[in-house]
Amino acid sequence: MDAQRLKDNFAHVAEQGDAVALFFYSDLFVRNPHLRDMFPVGMTGQRDKLLGALGRIVAQADDLPTLVPFLQQLGRDHRRFGIIAEHYPHVGASLLATLRHFSGSTWTDEVAEDWSAAYTLVAKVMLEAADEDALTRPAWWNGQVIGVERRRFDIAVLRIQPDRPLPYLAGQSVAVEVPSRLRQWRYYSMANAPRPDHTVDFHVRLVDGGPVSSVLVRSMQTGDHLRMGAPIGTLTLDESSGRDVLLVAGSTGLAPLKAILEQLARRPIPPRVHLFFGARNRDGLYDLEDLTKLAHEHAWLTVVPAVSDESAGHGFSTLLQSGDGDVEYGNLPDVVARHGPWSAHDAYVCGPSEMVGRTVERLTLLGLERARIRLETFADAQR
C-alpha cells in the first residue's frame, strides 16, 4: 500500500466535495436497500461525517500508531447503529466504486490495490475493536428521564436513570438518541461524577437546526426515554497530578467541567480550583446559582462568572452586579488571562471551539505548558 498515492488520489476525489458522499450512499442503498433503515432520514450530516472520516484515515495512512486508536473508536461507535461484520464488504464495494467514478483517468490498477488494502486494514481494526467491546458492554444503554429543569428558553438540564450502570469517568461524554429522531446520535457530556444511584445529568443547549437538541430542550418530559452510547472522551482528570486546577467553561461546556469539579470535591484534600464560567449575557449563566453555592461551601473553590456582550457601564469597570455577586465583563479568554498567572496549574477547557482555541492560545502565552491543557478530542464529536 502506497500511502502517498492514496493521499494524492483522495485529494483529487475530494475536489468534488459533497457529490462524493452523495454518490457513495446512493450506490450503497441501490445495491443494498436493506441498509437504508440503518441511517437517518436526513443524510446531510452523515455525508459530512463520511468525508471527514475518510480524510482523516488517508491523512494518517502512514501513521498507524495515531490512526489505529481512531479506527478502534469508530468500530466501537458503529455498534450502536447495528453494524455487523457482513455489512463491511458492502460498504467496501461502494467505496471503491465511488473512488473509481471520481478518479476518472487517474484510476489505475495500483490505486485500486492501494484502496483495497487500506479498506481491508480499516475493516479489520474496526471489527476487532467492536468484537472486543461487545464482550464487556452493550451497544447502548436505555435511559428514562426522571427530571427536567428548563433554565432558560434554550437550555435544559436533564436527569437520566440508565437501565443498568453506565461506567464512565468525570468529563466524558455519550452519544444520545431520542425516539423521534432515530439514528441521529449527538454527543453530550455528563455534568456529574459517577453517583451511587447511577443517574446522570446533561446540560443541553438548543442548537439552531439541531434535530436532537430541539427535542431534548423543548419536548422532553419526565418519564420519556432515550438511548445512550458507550462513554468516550479524553477530557478527564489527571489523578496523578498534585497541581492546582483551572477550569474554563463556555456555556454548556460547563457540563464536563462540573463533573470534574464534583470529582475533585471528593478528595480528602482538594487542590485550589478556579472555575471561570462564561456566556454572552447574564441570562446565559444558567448554572451560576448552583456554582455560587458550591463556592460558599468549599473554601478551595473560586468561581468567576463572565459575560462578553453586556456593557459594564461607560467602560470604566470590569464588574457587573447580579443577584449571585459580581460578574466580570469581557471575553472569557481575556478574563482568565487577567486573573493569572496559571503556569503552575493544570487546565481543563470546554465550550465553543473559538473560545477554546483563544483560551489555549492565551494560556500558552502566559507560560502554561500545552501538555497540561486538556480539551475534548474524541472522534465523531458531533453534537
**pLDDT tens-digit map of 56-104:** 999 999 999 999 999 999 999 999 888 899 999 999 999 999 999 999 9
The CA distance from 63 to 61, in Å, is: 6
Of the candidates 42, 41, 51, 45, which has an alpha carbon nearest to the alpha carbon of residue 21?
51
The CA distance from 207 to 159, in Å, is: 20
Selected residue with higher pLDDT from 321 and 339? 339
- DSSP bridge partners of 200: 160
Of the candidates 219, 79, 225, which has an alpha carbon nearest to the alpha carbon of residue 143?
225
The angle at the Cα of 350, spanning 323 to 372, to the nearest 5 degrees, equals: 120
The pLDDT, as a whole number, for residue 277 is: 98
Say which amino acid occupies 89: P
- Kindly provide the b/e burial profile for residues 271-294, where b requires at least 16 CB atoms within 10 angstroms of the residue's own CB: eebbbbbbbeebebbbbbeebbeb
The helix (run of H) or strand (run of E) holding residue 115 is helix 109-134
The pLDDT, as a whole number, for residue 312 is: 45
Say yes or no to pLDDT of 317 above 80: no
The pLDDT, as a whole number, for residue 323 is: 43
Residue 65 burial (10 A CB sphere; 0-12, 13-18, 19+): exposed
The pLDDT, as a whole number, for residue 183 is: 87
Q: What mean pLDDT do residues 100-124 have?
A: 95
The pLDDT, as a whole number, for residue 44 is: 76
| Helix, coil or strand: residue 153 | coil
The pLDDT, as a whole number, for residue 372 is: 96
The pLDDT, as a whole number, for residue 47 is: 81
Q: What mean pLDDT do residues 128-136 have?
A: 95
Cα–Cα distances (Å) from 157 to 28, 68, 111, 190, 221, in that order, read 39, 36, 51, 11, 11
* Residues 248 and 332: beta-carbon distance below 8 Å: yes
User: pLDDT averaged over the chain?
Assistant: 91
| Helix, coil or strand: residue 181 | helix
* Residues 276 and 304: beta-carbon distance below 8 Å: yes
Work out whether strand 245-250 and strand 273-279 pair parallel, antiparallel, or are unpaired. parallel
* Residues 143 and 226: beta-carbon distance below 8 Å: yes
The CA distance from 311 to 308, in Å, is: 8
Say yes or no to pLDDT of 318 above 80: no
Q: What is the 3-class SS of 275-332, one letter each residue? A: EEEEECCHHHCCCHHHHHHHHHHCCCEEEEEEECCCCCCCCCCCEEEECCEEEEECCH
The pLDDT, as a whole number, for residue 38 is: 85
Q: What mean pLDDT do residues 228-234 have?
A: 93
Residue 22 burial (10 A CB sphere; 0-12, 13-18, 19+): middle
What percentage of the chain has pLDDT greater than the value 90? 83
Say yes or no to pLDDT of 289 above 50: yes
